[in-house]
Every structure is written in structure tokens, then in C-alpha cells.
Amino acid sequence: MAKTAGFCFGVDRAVGKVYELAESGVKVCTLGPIIHNANVVADLEKKGVFICCSPDQAPTDGVLIIRSHGVPQSVYDEIERLGLRCEDCTCPFVAKIHQIAAERSRRGDVLLIAGDPEHPEVVGITGFCTGEHYVFSTPAQLEALITAHQLEQRPVSMCSQTTYHVGNWQQAKEIAARRCQKLEIFDTVCGATASRQQEAEELSRHCDLMVVVGDRHSSNTAKLREVCEKNCRTILLETAQEMLQQDILCAKIIGVTAGASTPARIIKEVLHTMSELLNDVQGEEFSFEKALEESLKPVYIGQRVKGVITSVAPNEVTVDIGTKHTGFIPLSELTSDSTVSSCDQLVAKDEEINVIVMRVNDQEGTALLSKKRYDAIEGFDKIMKAEEEGTVLEGVVTDVIKGGVLVTVHGVKVFVPASLATLRRGEDLQALKGQQVEFKIIETNERRARAIGSIKAVLVEKNKAIAEAFWNSVEIGKVYSGVVKSLTSYGAFIDLGGVDGMAHISELSWKRIKHPSEVVKVGDTVEVYIKDIDFENKKISLGYKKEADNPWNIFQANYHVGDEVKATIVSITSFGAFARIIDGVDGLIHISQISNERVEKVADVLKVGDVVDCKITEADIDRKRVSLSMRALLENQPRAEHSSRSMEDAVVYSTEDSDFEG
């Protein structure tokens, strides 16, 4: 028996007040059922307590009870307007949330509330919100809300229903803390609720069967069942009589817990009935009558059973499931693998097998069984457990569909939306098909056996760890191999392995370029070095061009003052022409150094693209300046000879189809 079971403080306080008033002879009316427990409500009705749906239905000569779930501010206003006598039994923990909602709304915060939007407690909380507020049931819904309403930079406060799922609340806090920059979290899950769920979780790990006692409409009772059934078979009972309809004798260890709205007397009745059932069978020896009774026990659709294979045919397996029914599994229900052509490829006679009952024919004494669906259910149980624990799963991307991809794990296909399939939007999803990927489960729907996963969540966590290691080891001058991720007019962004750096356009080439695409393309693997680091803003400046390719170093090593060179005219000015000696090194031919004759206009003698003979007359490597002279090559020739030549004769070569522009 769980230690934390039965009435919590708030419920006990509210129910005790109603009984006290009813027994004093006062006319008592509760605003909605005092708690979610039909037995307690029925007992109070016998004592004259009745239920109303709104304050205007309450008697003016009686007492109106506000239950522990609380009500919106508008209900208090109406009670005051009607002048009704009222006993406010709102749980103090719930009242605290009302105060938080009111204060934070007045301050201008967006309020995020974790819980069931239809639950009376949540309805009451939202009734104290005067500003923008949203209710989410699952962590995945929280993610969607933050994105849809752009809450990343807005002031946000977050609280929860007191009976909210503890595991989901932890996930929600992590999501909100990661995504919202201006966030304040209020831990409003009731301490008793948290203890109850944690205790039930631990107890269920050591039991074959868990019995949860409580009303089926109770939120915290439903959460207890949800927690327990992840670990073992779990049944929910409202009364001790329901125990007689359950098969508990097959369990060796049975755990019992109860919801916060379950009276102690009902818990005791259930325990007493269980003890009687167990005592009845203690010490009994095997008898034919008992064995016959066991063989006649009912088989129902959806039941999970363990059987022994009695025969194997190519298209069907016969199974003994321990009853009068002969179980059979068609090949189509044995496996989802379409490449398997015969049952004996998978199973053998006398092998134990877990199956689920699909159809029962009592007249023929047969039961259609499915191993494939049992595996899928078991697989989905593992998926729900992975969601609860935040476990990273591994699966294969089997399909690319509209809106995302399907990943198969434990025999279940998990849908991963396109926005959560890759680290960056717009990446090709087809590249994922057939790939083994790691992902997390962010949402499950047990009723529809559907699950939503996120590959991106795992990639983000990995990148975070990689980035942390990078920043701990990065230093100026260190060389990295990176991948070009994007190009802009001013540079290239390069992924260094979880951290992006930028190589400015001036760092991509020694010669002038108009766009980075002249040097690199998206997807290229390049070797770069750290040029500068901004630790505060987490920015990296990269260098790409190598010192060995520096054209001025090449020029200095291969050319000297006095050398004769061929140079290509690349631009014309009023004072001369610039000529390219090698890529990246241009020299100036001053107007006075073009010819022995006086030149009035440079463009009359030279044009862009011409290749001319000239001499290096000056070279200042530090200032990156070179002076050239065509005239120096003409001075050794007789002047008369030159005077009779046209200025065009000074041009040795002409390249009419040059790409250069003056």
C-alpha cells in the first residue's frame, strides 16, 4: 500500500466542512460536485447536500460551498452581487495560483498555464487572468504556443494545475527556460501530488499489478493510472465490488495507491476485499475442477496473453493460450516484414509467444491472435516511456511524406515534422531516407497509438556540447576544416562543427572579387584559420587565403627592379595606366613613361587589354607599389627613329577580347 494515498489536505478540508455544515442542520449547496468522487457525492446527497451549477441557483437561506478546485473571479463577483452566504473551500495551493495569475496579468506578463483546459481548477485560474494567457496540456503544445505567439522575447510567467503530470511539468520547464528569454516559473504542482506520483511510479516498478482506487473523472487519479501502467498492468477501481470483476490472482505482487479524492473507507474496503480473495486461494492444491475453471476463463478482444506454439504451417501458427480456445496467428499478423514468405522463418514449435486477441469465436472455440500488433503495443509502451524519461531513441527513416518523415522504432512509425527533422529549415528531407537517426519523443496519443518525434532536439543538444568544447579550446591561428553553409555579399559563413564563423570577402582571395561565390560555393569543404575571436558575442572571424599564395610574396621572390616584363593594361587614368604584372600585383606606368614623345592623353596611346613591354623602375613591397616604364626600353634607340613612328608602335601586344575594364 502506498504511503501517500487518499484525501489530500485541500480535499479533506473541503469535504470535512461540508459534512460539518450538513450535520449542523444548515441547508448546504455546493457549486459543482465537492470532489470528483461519486461515492462521496452520493453520501452527501443523502444528508441533504445538493449541487448547483451557478450562484443564481443557490438558496438564499442556505450556505453555498466553493469547492477545493476554486472558481473564476467572476463567480465571486456574482456571489457578492446576490448577497449569498458563502464558505470558500478553495485549496490554499490553488488560491496561491489565483494570486499569481492576477498579479502577473496586471504586470503585463503573458501567462502560460500547464493543465487540462476543461478542468474546473484551470477554468478558475484563467478566470483570474486579465491579460494574455494560454493553456497547454503537453510539452509539445507549449513549444507550438511559444512559436505561434512569438514569446521568445516577451515577458512570460508560467505555472501549472496542482495535479499536473510531474514528468511533463519538468519537460515544460526545460522547454520554456530554453526558448523564453524573459521568463519566471512558479512551481505550483502540489507537493502531495508530486509525492503521490513519484511513489506510485516507484511502487509500480516492483509489482506485477497496480490497483489505483479513485473516481474515473478525477484528474489526479487518471495521472496515477497513467504513471503506473507504463511499468506494469494497472486497473482502476471506484469501489471494492469492482474488484470481483478483475483477475488479480495471476499477480504475485500487487501495489495499491489512491487518488486525492478517494475516501479512506473505500481504500480500506478495496484492501479488505483483495485480502479475502487472496486468502481464499492460499494453500489450495491442484484439482481438476480448478483447472477446468481456469480453462473456461473468458477471452476478450484486446487481451494480451502468453501462449505456446503447438504447430507451425507456412501461412499460419497454432497457439495454446491456456483456455478452451485454439489460438491461431496468420502470417500477416505474425510480422510486418513483407519479405518473409513462411511462418517457420520466424518461429518454431514449443516456443513461447506473446500475442494480443483480435477476434473470438466461442461457437468454434477459436481465437484470432496477432504478434505483430502485440509488438506494436509493446513498442508504443516503450515509446511512451521514452517520452516520460526524455530518452534518446534510434530508428530508421523509412518514409518521406507531406509535412515530414516517418521513423520506425520498436515496430512503431513515429512522425517527425519537417521543422523538427533537420537542424536548419529548408534542408532536403529525401537525404534522410534510409538513414539511422537519433530522436526524442515529444508527444504521444495513446488512444490513437500515434507519436511525434524530434530529430532536431537531439542535434541541438549535441551541437550545444560540441559548441561548448569548441569555445573551451579555440584560439587565434588554429586551423579548422569547415563546410560552407551560406554566402552573403560581404562574406562566407562556415560551419566549423557546431559553431559558425565568417570569412570576410577580403579574406577569401588576394585579388579583388565582387562576390564570395567566385571563390567558394555552399557545401564546399574548406580549410580556414581563426583570425579573430569575440568571446562575449560568440563571433568568429576566419581567414581563408594563404600567405603562401600572397602575390606580393611571389612578386618579391621572382621580380626585381630593372627586370623587363610583359604587363597587361587593366585601367586608364589621366596620369597614366595601371598594368598587371601577375594576378594581384599591378604597376603604374606614368604618362611620362609611356613614350619618348610627349603624350597628351593616355587613352590615345593605350587601351585596356593591351600587353606591353616595360621595365620595373621602382618596387615598394611594404606600401605595395610598383612603378613601370615603357620609355626606359626606348631610350637606347636613336630618337630620330622613334620620332617617325606612331605612338601605337609602342604597344607590343593587343588583347582585344580582354575581360578587364578601364
Residue 563 lies in domain: 554-654
* Mean pLDDT of the region 450-475: 85
Assess whether 589 and 542 both reside in one domain: no
Is 73's pLDDT higher than 90?
Answer: yes
Q: What pLDDT score does 556 carry?
A: 85
Q: Which helix (H) or strand (E) holds 139?
A: helix 139-148
Q: Which amino acid is at 564?
A: E
| 3-state SS assignment for residue 322 | coil
Q: What pLDDT score does 397 carry?
A: 92
Helices (H), 263-370: 264-281, 288-295
34 close to 14: Cβ distance less than 8 angstroms: yes
Is 621's pLDDT higher than 80?
Answer: yes
- Point out the domain boundary residue: 259, 282, 305: 282
Answer whether 0.85 is exceeded by the pTM: no
Confidence of residue 510 (pLDDT cuts 50, 70, 90): confident
- The residue among 424 and 287 whose pLDDT is bigger is 424
287 within some domain: no
d(C-alpha 213, C-alpha 260), whole Å: 10
462 within some domain: no
Q: State percent of the chain over pLDDT 90.
A: 36
For 268, how many CA atoms within 13 A lie in the half-sphere containing its CB?
A: 3
Q: What pLDDT score does 4 carry?
A: 66
pLDDT digits (tens, 9 = 90+) for 21-39: 888 888 999 998 888 777 7
d(C-alpha 446, C-alpha 379), whole Å: 12
Is 524's pLDDT higher than 70?
Answer: yes
- Point out the domain boundary residue: 42, 60, 88: 88
Is 287's pLDDT higher than 70?
Answer: no
CATH code of 162's domain: 3.40.1010.20
Show Cβ contacts of residue 286 under 8 Å, excluding neighbours closer than 6 positions.
none
Largest CA distance in the chain: 139
Assess whether 558 and 544 both reside in one domain: no
Is 182's pLDDT higher than 90?
Answer: yes
Assess whether 302 and 256 both reside in one domain: no
Is 661's pLDDT higher than 70?
Answer: no
Assess whether 168 and 217 both reside in one domain: no
Assess whether 169 and 144 both reside in one domain: yes
Output the average pLDDT for the chain.
84
466 within some domain: no
Assess whether 108 and 199 both reside in one domain: no
pLDDT digits (tens, 9 = 90+) for 385-434: 899 888 999 999 989 998 899 998 887 889 999 999 988 777 889 989 99
d(C-alpha 637, C-alpha 274), whole Å: 125
d(C-alpha 417, C-alpha 409), whole Å: 16
Assess whether 103 and 182 both reside in one domain: yes
* Mean pLDDT of the region 195-207: 87
Could you confirm whether 468 is annotated as catalytic? Answer: no
CATH code of 396's domain: 2.40.50.140
d(C-alpha 57, C-alpha 425), whole Å: 56
Is 116's pLDDT higher than 50?
Answer: yes
Assess whether 116 and 182 both reside in one domain: yes
Assess whether 504 and 544 both reside in one domain: yes
Is 322's pLDDT higher than 50?
Answer: yes
Assess whether 104 and 167 both reside in one domain: yes
461 within some domain: no
- Point out the domain boundary residue: 430, 447, 464: 447
Q: Which of 87, 121, 184, 333 is catalytic?
A: 121
pLDDT digits (tens, 9 = 90+) for 255-278: 889 887 787 778 878 877 777 776
Assess whether 559 and 590 both reside in one domain: yes
464 within some domain: no
507 within some domain: yes
Q: What pLDDT score does 3 carry?
A: 66
Q: What pLDDT score does 648 carry?
A: 37
The answer to whether the Cα torsion of 397, 399, 404, 407 is positive or negative is negative
454 within some domain: no
